[in-house]
Chain A
Amino acid sequence: MNTQDEMADNSLSGPNWGGFEQLRLSDDTNAVNVTIGSSERWDKAHLRRLRQSADLPGLVPVIDSDFASDGKPFAVTPVVDSETLADRIPPSGSEWEDCAAITEAAARASHEAHLRGLFHGALSPDQVHVLDNDVAVSGIGLGLGGTPSEDYAHWVAPEVRDGGDPTERSDVYSLGKILEASLGNAIEDVPRSVRRLIMWSSSDTPEARPPSALEFASILAEAMGEDRATYSPAFIPTADTNDLASTAPEAVAAFTPGEGSGSSSLGTGAAIAGAGAAAIGAAAIASSLGDDDDAVDAVADAVVDDPDLEVDPDVLADAVDTGELPAEAVVDADPDVDAELEVDEPADIEAAAVATTELGTETADLSADLEDADTSVFDSQEYSDELAGTAADPDYDVPAAAQTVDLDQPFEPERRGNRAGILVGAIMAATLGVVLWGLLNSGDDSTDTADPAPTETTVPAEDEDDSGAAAGTDGGTATDEGNADDEVAGPGAEEEEPSTTTEAPTTTVAEDEAPEDEAPVEDEAPEEEVEPAPPAATVDGPITAEDAGIQVLHGIPGAEVDVYVNGQALAPGFTAGTIAGPANLDPGDYDIELFAASDTPPVSSADRSDDPVISQTVTVGADPATLVAHLDANGNPTLSAFAEDFEPLDPGTARVQLRHLAAAPGVQAIIDGEPADGLLEPGREAVLTLSAGEHTIETTTADGTPVKSATLTLADGEVAAVSVIGSAADDNIAVVVQRYTGLSTAPAAVPTGNSNLLADGEDPTALYILGIMTSLMAIAGGVLMLRRSRQVL
């Protein structure tokens, strides 16, 4: 998180972020950039993806993308000489709100590109163009196969710096850095959730970042509230540049990379933007003009005439004085500094281009100095410290990869209840375990026991726990457990719920009274010899929540037991890791006896000659639940019951009920690399709401020793009860998963139109084009000029 260190520590080999050359083509009124891509990585599919992004609002479009006659892949993009986010950084006063809104728009635009398989890799404020109330991002998809410039290292995710391909999450990293810069010194004043978002996005571990740019935008939007400023995606018109673009293949084929290509085009831009000056224009234009004094003047004029370009003469002059910025790069950038700038070889403007090339090697130092001087970037060191402090804060909650995680909510697990209330006392023997449910047809009770499972309005029996879990949240977002049958709960409220709660098992398992009164209902005592109980059938596939009923999980590895319910044998073959059920069981008490496994277990426990290892009465409620035979923290077999949480899920989410049922001390749960708060104690569960998709759930001991890890692919609307069973001492810890489907909800709405084109023939596109045209820079000179350009994308 230490910005300065990052800048200093990066020793990058690549000369150029994209690893590409860039040409500038221009005519009377238009200009385009031609990016020559990596021959290895820009295949047909990539070119197609680039072309398909052409019509996307919010991106500086790719006008054309193809192979030149010599096989070099290229992409043509318009030159958008607009204000950029870099021009607004650092913000003063309340400007940070706009900067944050622009960042949000950039994130949404990036998401659209990501959906299409295009990633940036080195997104930075100077590539976020601001056109009035519209935003367009440039450079997406152009960096594939390149190595990032060290000058951009601050914005580049570590895995991309190390040579990895840009990904959705690497762009999220950049967005986090951009957001950080967008806030400037207001970092102290922003909602805590915004600071957490930055911290979350800046994780060195890609998996620990928000999973998508949309997620990033969503969290930011929520943190900033309904009344925040909003920016729309900009349409950059390309019709006027098509002719120019059509000359690109020829230009690319004619282009020969110069030996000076060890410079960084982006680095130049970064340094100059960092200087707070708009020498971007100067450098770019200087490199595309001819070799004479008039050209120098043209550069100066172009810069001075553009109101968006604000040159800080002192900064530039200082930079030149110290040799950090070649004078040629800022020739006459501002009339006021004429006298201070000595142009060594004004006649050789070509030197300006070369100078800007060389600048690339010096930009890191320059940027660092500027930061010291506090002329541009806010004090990142201080902020980093604060973030570090936040991370160490015991209140630190679990970002996880959860769609519903609210980073602003302190995670305060509710530890309620007393395990003694739920566990049956300790037992002996190491054999054992298990449980069971009443037989489906306990004699004439059968009519009752076959009651259908609760239907879709299932309300889990854990109201008390929910309300407790919601305690300590703010914003009036307490869990609304009374609304289990609401079709789609208010998304906003749902998302602010704490995603993790720790719950004690809910169903009670009472201490045994001998089941003598409860003689087995089915009293047709076998006349014949006691015979072994038959093996049970198996079933595959997930269970719908609707049908979940009561299940029994054997969670004691290595133990062989015979289980009897109300005196009747449950089928043998019920081994550790096996789930029996579901069964629709009448609420009530069931007598459960566990015996050490016998080769020929009698059907009725009355026929057993040995004594039960455990004899308990289990009370089964009306709601779906799982009874688990497992080891307690001390390695003693015990019995616990957990109610399943079958609240409907928000669209695109899944729920994990993580249960620590192993003979091990409290464990630290780590979801997708991000530690949950506090330890999960033996016999307890943590309830996590995660996005549908793949997640890694690790558990470690308090000192970080791995206990067990599992990777789960969760479906939309799925509930997975993940039980960690076994014994650390016996080295047989295992993970057992029960999956339930059917809790998904549909999207709240399908927003598919905002322009009323169905009603009338008026074409609002004209307005977009008009707005953007006024921002496009007119480049001097009537001739088509081709010159290598070192220009920010």
Chain B
Amino acid sequence: MNQRLAAGAFLLAISMAVVGAATTAFNIPDDADTVAIGSEVVSVQPVGAARAQVPLRSGFLDSQASEVDESTFPVAVRIAGIGLEAPVLSVGVDERNDFDVPAADTVGWYKYSSTPGSAGTTVLAAHVDYAGREGAFFNLEDVAVGDVLEVEMADGSIMTYQVTESILYDKTELPAEDLFRKDGDSTLQLITCGGDFDPAERSYRGNLVVTAEPLDA
């Protein structure tokens, strides 16, 4: 969000409110002007001395719902094009603050990313290989733009996605802030390793990122 633009719009709205309020002192019009600043909605009410109202909210805990709805957690991913069907586990980070990618042929859902279908990115990562074995995303590089894949949630519902891009990044250039985005369009990110292998580090130098968008959004 462009802050300056928002601020400008806000000021304009306030100015209009002030003008409009000149003859309607002390009344709260039903059509109070509203402008958006970032994700915030500020109601601007032309009142008496042209005061702009500031929102109020209750700070008591019982007024704040913060239930975690586990039924929306992803539990499986299917990519027919590469014959993949793998269970999905909820994972966080390890002590290096790295994605705690689960071992072997299981896919990890970054539990601090969005649930499928909600705003922001849903991030799934899996090994391309692990301790000498193929990981769940061994064939992820064969997924092509346009391919369709499915994510199943704990409640049995299924989200269908279509791949929009597949990009191999150098690990030092991974656009992490975009991949792990908590707002904006609902997007699925599938991440694994790729590119050259660094024998000294026992690690690939790149991350393969497959991005997909909901089909029936």
Contact = CB atoms under 8 A, between A and B. Distances in A.
Interface of A: 52, 55-58, 112, 115-116, 214, 217-219, 221-222, 232-233, 235, 437, 439-441, 446-447, 450-453, 455, 487-488, 491-492, 494-495, 520, 522, 524, 526, 528, 531, 533-534, 536-540, 543-544, 546-547, 553, 568, 571, 573-574, 577-583, 603-604, 650-652, 692, 710, 712-713, 715-717, 723, 734-739, 741-742, 744, 746-759, 763-765, 767-768
Contact of A712 (B17, B58, B66, B110): B66
B135 interface: yes
Interface stretch (B101-109, B143-151, B154-162): B101-109
Contacts of B138: 757-758
Contacts of B92: 651-652, 692
A752 B128 contact: yes
Q: Which of B51, B52, B97, B132 has the most CB of A within 10 A?
A: B97
Contacts of A741: 182
A749 B28 CA distance: 52
Interface string B54-77: 111111110010111000000000
B59 A579 contact: yes
A734 B67 contact: no
B199 interface: yes
Given A547-B39, A750-B207, A112 B131 contact: no
30 contacts: A52-B106, A55-B133, A56-B104, A115-B91, A437-B54, A446-B14, A451-B7, A452-B6, A452-B37, A528-B26, A536-B53, A537-B43, A538-B56, A568-B49, A568-B51, A579-B59, A604-B49, A715-B66, A716-B112, A717-B112, A747-B176, A748-B96, A748-B97, A749-B99, A749-B174, A752-B207, A754-B131, A755-B132, A756-B197, A757-B134
Given A112-B103, A494-B97, A737-B64, 12 more contacts: A57-B104, A115-B106, A524-B25, A578-B56, A583-B54, A650-B93, A717-B112, A735-B61, A744-B180, A750-B192, A752-B191, A752-B193
A528 B56 contact: no
Q: Which 6 pairs from chain A and chain B are nearest by CB?
A: A218-B95, A753-B193, A716-B112, A764-B132, A452-B3, A539-B55
B64 A739 contact: yes
Contact of A488 (B45, B57, B171, B176): B176
Contacts of B87: 52
Q: Which of B25, B179, B199 has the most CB of A within 10 A?
A: B25
Interface in B1-42: 3-4, 6-7, 10-11, 14-15, 17-18, 25-26, 28, 32, 37-41
Contacts of A758: 128-129, 138, 141, 194, 197, 204
B48 interface: yes
A736 B59 contact: yes
B14 A440 contact: yes
Contacts of A738: 59
Nearest to B68: A713
B55 A652 contact: no
Contact of A577 (B37, B58, B193): B58
Contacts of B95: 214, 217-219, 221-222, 491, 495
